[in-house]
Structure 1
Amino acid sequence: MGNSEARAAKWATFLASRNEFPARERFLAAFKSGRITRTCECGCNSFDIEVPEESGVPLLARPGNYGAVFELMFATVEPTGSIEFTIFVGKSGHLASVDVSHCANALPVPDEFVIIEPPYHARVSEALGV
């Protein structure tokens, strides 16, 4: 399965289920209100999303604090490697993109794999205001 809007929805649901991410509800609301504007075709599963200002969805981060606001990384088996997630916001504070890569984007994201719990890295930006 290549990168697609369906794959983006799968990753959004996965990220919103993770206790390591304190802005789960805001993230999922932004994803559901947004429109995917690009899915990367390089083999990663990254995507860009636009959340309309008039959506009424709470901001994911404080305005002006654009960039990466959350990172989550797991070791994987079958195949062996890692899967990495990074959530980005735009200057407005709304969700802007999600990067999903395998082995630091050295390999395409496999259709199926098994993650090893717990994640070996989780970082929450202060910009989330949580």
Structure 2
Amino acid sequence: MANSQQQAANWLSFLLTQDVPFNELLRSHVAIGKISELCNCGCHGFGFEVPAQATVRPLQEGAGVFYELAFASNHPEEITMLLFTDERGYLSWIDVTYGACNIDPMPDGIAPANKIGVWPGTRHDLPRVDAAD
């Protein structure tokens, strides 16, 4: 299945339905940012740009892998989502891959099922946002 702006938007919407400890903070990034470039390797990865003048809190300090989620799928392999941040700590890239090691291009008709894992499993240093924030 080819990557597209619509497919990236679908994956982003799906991500926002997940129970993660930083959901409200992630929503604040998505509310002010936009999907940018699309990966064309066969995965469904995409860039995400949070404006330079953003006033929301960063997801973490600095650039790198921030969080990973894995889901069973309606195909033999799992779907993995890796969230990356830029040097400011803002969401900058989401890899959406087929199989634990991006073994093949995303198959046609693939759909996520139940969550089967996250990394890090527990992170006490993740920023929490409550209704008062």
Counterpart position of 1:69: 66
Matched, 1:108 2:109: no
Q: CA deviation at 1:107?
A: 1.2
Indicate if the aligned counterparts of 2:38 and 2:44 stay in contact, CA closer than 8 A.
yes
Structure with more strand by fraction = 1
CA distance in 2, matches of 1:113, 1:88: 23
Which SS does the other structure have where 1:81 is aligned? coil
Mean Cα displacement is larger for which, 37-46 or 119-128?
Answer: 119-128
- Cα distance, 1:128 vs. partner? 3.0
Structure 2 gaps of 5+ residues are 129-133
Give the Å deviation of 1:127.
5.5
Q: When the two structures are superposed, what TM-score results if normalisation uses the length of structure 1?
A: 0.82
More helix by share: 1
Gaps of 5+ in 1: none
Which SS does the other structure have where 1:96 is aligned? strand
Q: Is residue 55 from structure 1 mapped to residue 54 from structure 2 by the alignment?
A: yes
Q: What's the counterpart of residue 92 of structure 1?
A: 88
Name the amino acid aligned to 1:113: I
How far apart are the structure 2 equivalents of 1:13 and 1:114?
Answer: 13
TM-score, scaled relative to structure 2: 0.80
Q: Percent of aligned pairs with the same residue?
A: 31
CA offset digits 1:5-42 (Å, max 9, x no partner): 221111111111111x2112221321232233310011
The aligned residue for residue 126 of structure 2 is 128
Two-structure CA RMSD over aligned residues (Å):
2.0
Aligned residues: 125
Secondary structure of 1:92 counterpart:
coil
